[in-house]
Structure 1
């Protein structure tokens, strides 16, 4: 398989930006930030999008892994939290501007149990590009996954 390019094109002023995803089915979305960081909070912040990208990529990757394992998945629920010390980002202090920690709590309806569920989670986190961005960045990354029964 060849490399698949992902492209965005952006324009903005101040701290707000409009982002376009070109292609056969183009998409547009905006980005802003909290007033404490100079924004109007008129759109999600890039950091919120980053956490959303993490949960969405986990769900997509889980579908791919579930197909490989022959298990069924239903509805997902996520809570992702990123702890950021704004001293570097806002104040210019020396250090790392990255999240200090990211925690994901996830549940998914599935027929996978025990070792199969553990393998599903392990493999989806290994294969998820966004999870790997976080894990390899050196932050304190943790996740907890809970299986729920599929509705009848």
Structure 2
């Protein structure tokens, strides 16, 4: 890929992985060398010894939203405290497991987030909109065509 040579704002994220069966060991390229494992439920041929890639996808959505929120809050001059997230992805496994025709994607994903902040409601609404627009993982889900519900609420900063 040559995109990174065209624009200096492009940062490549590279994962190397190996595995057997449905389990994998993944290593992120870079100085930190972060490593993680995936597996699957026994119904999908795994031993359930590590989180499913589907949990990692939903977890990436929560953490990317929080990282993006920190950047947006800085731009808007607001302060935040604790974030809490609950994300649910509804997956019809007929395509994955049975090979049925259709889309193997989640049918729907719902994000419920609560953020402690000093922002008033108008600024908070702008904050939520900007986080959704600027978060790469949110955009992966939204642009995939699934039903995406994004409900954020503000709590007083303690």
TM-score scaled to structure 1, two decimals? Answer: 0.98
1:100 equivalent in alignment to 2:107: yes
Aligned length: 151
User: Residue 43 of structure 1 aligns to a residue in which SS?
Assistant: coil
**Runs (4+) off by over 3 Å:** none
Q: What is the match of residue 152 of structure 2?
A: 145
Q: What is the match of residue 90 of structure 2?
A: 83
- Equivalents in 2 of 1:55, 1:42: separation in Å? 22
- How much is the aligned-residue C-alpha RMSD, in angstroms? 0.6
Q: What is the match of residue 14 of structure 2?
A: 7
- Equivalents in 1 of 2:122, 2:147: separation in Å? 25
1:24 equivalent in alignment to 2:31: yes
Contact 2:109/2:146 (8 A) holds in 1 = yes
Return the offset for 1:113.
1.6
User: Residue 102 of structure 1 aligns to a residue in which SS?
Assistant: strand
Return the offset for 1:143.
1.2
106, 114, 127: which is aligned to 1:120?
A: 127
44, 47, 57: which is aligned to 1:40?
A: 47
Gaps of 5+ in 1: none
Q: What is the match of residue 4 of structure 2?
A: none
Return the offset for 1:2.
2.8
- Equivalents in 2 of 1:23, 1:45: separation in Å? 24
- Equivalents in 1 of 2:156, 2:21: separation in Å? 47
TM-score scaled to structure 2, two decimals? Answer: 0.94
Return the offset for 1:118.
0.1
**C-alpha distance after superposition, 1:2-41 (max 9, x if no partner):** 3100000000000000000121111100000111111111
Gaps of 5+ in 2: 1-7
